[in-house]
Structure 1
Amino acid sequence: MSEEISMSEEASINPRRIPYALYIFCTLCLLLASTVAGATNYTLWINGRSSGGAPGNYSDFRYWGPAATPAGINKQAVNWDGRSSIASQSGRVRDALDCFCTGQNWCYIAAYSAGDLLLGYTLANYGGSARTVTNASANASGVCAASGGVQTGWNLKWVRVAAGAAGGSELANVGAWTTSEPLVQDLKTSTARAMYNHNDTRNVWFYRYAGARGTAYSFVLPGQDDEVVAYHSSGGVAGNAGRSLCNPGDWLCDDLRLGTAPNQGSSVKWSWHSVVFRDDGERFNHYGDGNWAGIIGVMREAMVNTAN
């Protein structure tokens, strides 16, 4: 009799267990779907030297060119004044990273010229710090409100760099620019290279684009250059000072090699840095001309194709 009761009870209970399991499963699916739906990818553009867009206004793309031009998913202009010291302007980058690259949100980054130095400095010095998760809705100052939670560092997929000046420029060394600008002092090759640990990208890849259509300042800039930075900087080459690096076939200096491979002559790139474009045809200079031109245009095309 007890066995019959047990079997009867089991029969009455099992039909209830199956719908309950389905309920739990469906609830988990809905939670997962809501999490995915709430996640957003952004593309951040960090300008170089000289002013353009209004700091704090992530919709102002005047530095680059027409705002309607495609430049990656949910593009945001991380505007800074382009004149002040790297240390003083790092807060602008941190505000943007806190806004768009925390919580469920992830970022692709495009950095240009001195923006490379600014981003590298920010990641090396603050990329391991506690960051407040925000709501991705910026006020007029470019700051987003907390949405609950804290995380370490930022959610970054990768960085693309055009005409990167993390290694400085000899134009700053010789005083070709207004020397009263704090940024010019930071862009001296020895200063830029000693400013932070360039190998510490928080394990984020920097994919580099090096232009070579340089003419006006070739007597100052060693090796191949884009009229503002030489290959040793745009190619992410390590060391305390610049060196002459060129395109293959130029017998006057060693080759800047693609990818992460050591260059001809055994110079090496910083860790987590890879050259993905070398201007072998000498077609692209440093300048965007307010229309996404020069080496910026090469990087923009890559952002359109990969930042999604």
Structure 2
Amino acid sequence: MQLRVKHLVLTLLAAAGLAAAVAQATNFSLWINGRTGGGQLGNHADFTYWGPSSANGGVNKKSVNWDGYNHISDQNYLVRDALDCYCTGTNWCYVAAHSAGDLMIGYTLAMYGGSTRYKKTPTPNSGGSCSNSDGTTQTGWNIKWVDIAAGAGGGSELSNAGSWALSEPLVSDLKTTTARAMYDHNNTRGKWFYMYAGASGTAYSFILPGQDDEAVAYHSSGGVAGTGGSALCNPSDWLCNDLKLGTAANEGGSTKWSNHSVAFRDDNEAYNHYTNNNWAGVVSLVRKDMELNAK
């Protein structure tokens, strides 16, 4: 009888421990900025790049600030630190990225998504890194999915043409041939990238092929594979091939990178590239999706 009671007590304690572990699991929404940066490095509460911090950007939103100036490889540690903090152990993340932030998260997953990571306690120090939780490790990070606004993973012809300051190390990364050769864009470690492509281009339309948002063309914001940029448009434009929604091959036969899906194509040409420090442009669509679905 005593043995049976002992087993019952141990079972109840184990169940309580499991319930406590589950209760401590937390979801986070990580926002990765693009070129020019603006937020304080390591301060995950600083949303200067995006807009008012009061905006709903998904559950437990965090701003993964990098300087938006130096090479992707040089600044990547800041992103890895944030992913270690919030996306290991029992915790999971939703990720949103803008512009060159697409290049940053793609690089991170391809180059480090199969590496051994220590599980962390999600309380970062002033530099944005966290302490180990229990000394155990895991492979890669717990990421549910990735939303990309005006993605520059395929580079921009503005960088090719020198329309941006050539002294910026990041600008050399954003050349179309360089961006596309920087890492294996197909290797997302099984994480889905949902692409939001804007088409309210104006002044630079003669440099950017096909439809564009003033900074990147559809071939990049639509996650289109290949070694260089191709001209892709909305169905209403008869002058070039259509960018297709979802994972479907585009008109003319070009394809998307693996695990890349076009969630939004700007058929009405209403959204440009820029946040205007107010969650504006294509970012407004991603913010809304994170509000509704990152829970």
With normalisation by structure 2, the TM-score equals: 0.98
Shift of 1:32: 1.7
Number of aligned pairs? 294
Q: Distance in 2 between matches of 1:132 and 1:24?
A: 30
Identity percentage of aligned residues: 61
SS at match of 1:197: coil
Pairing of 1:1-308 with structure 2 (within 5 A): 13=1, 16=2, 19-147=5-133, 148-308=135-295
SS at match of 1:136: coil
Q: Distance in 1 between matches of 2:293 and 2:212?
A: 26
Larger radius of gyration between Structure 1 and Structure 2: 1
Q: Distance in 1 between matches of 2:120 and 2:215?
A: 37
Shift of 1:146: 1.2
Specify the code of the residue in structure 1 equivalent to 2:86.
F
Q: Distance in 2 between matches of 1:253 and 1:197?
A: 27
Q: Distance in 1 between matches of 2:131 and 2:155?
A: 35
Q: Distance in 2 between matches of 1:21 and 1:255?
A: 65
Q: Distance in 2 between matches of 1:246 and 1:121?
A: 27
Shift of 1:18: 5.3
Runs (5+) with no aligned partner, structure 1: 1-12
Q: Deviations over 1:27-52 (max 9, x none)?
A: 23212211111111110000000021
Shift of 1:150: 1.1
Q: Deviations over 1:67-86 (max 9, x none)?
A: 01110000000001000001
Q: Distance in 2 between matches of 1:65 and 1:53?
A: 10
SS at match of 1:160: strand
Other-structure match for 1:5: none
Shift of 1:19: 4.0
Specify the code of the residue in structure 1 equivalent to 2:41.
P
Q: Distance in 2 between matches of 1:266 and 1:18?
A: 68
Q: Deviations over 1:252-289 (max 9, x none)?
A: 01110011010011100000100011111111000010
Specify the code of the residue in structure 2 equivalent to 1:189.
T
Q: Distance in 2 between matches of 1:149 and 1:28?
A: 20
Specify the code of the residue in structure 2 equivalent to 1:280.
D
Moved over 6 A (4+): none
Q: Distance in 2 between matches of 1:67 and 1:150?
A: 32
Q: Distance in 1 between matches of 2:183 and 2:112?
A: 11
SS at match of 1:158: strand
Shift of 1:25: 3.5
Task: Calculate the aligned-residue CA RMSD, in Å.
Answer: 1.0
Specify the code of the residue in structure 1 equivalent to 2:69.
R
Runs (5+) with no aligned partner, structure 2: none
Specify the code of the residue in structure 2 equivalent to 1:31.
G
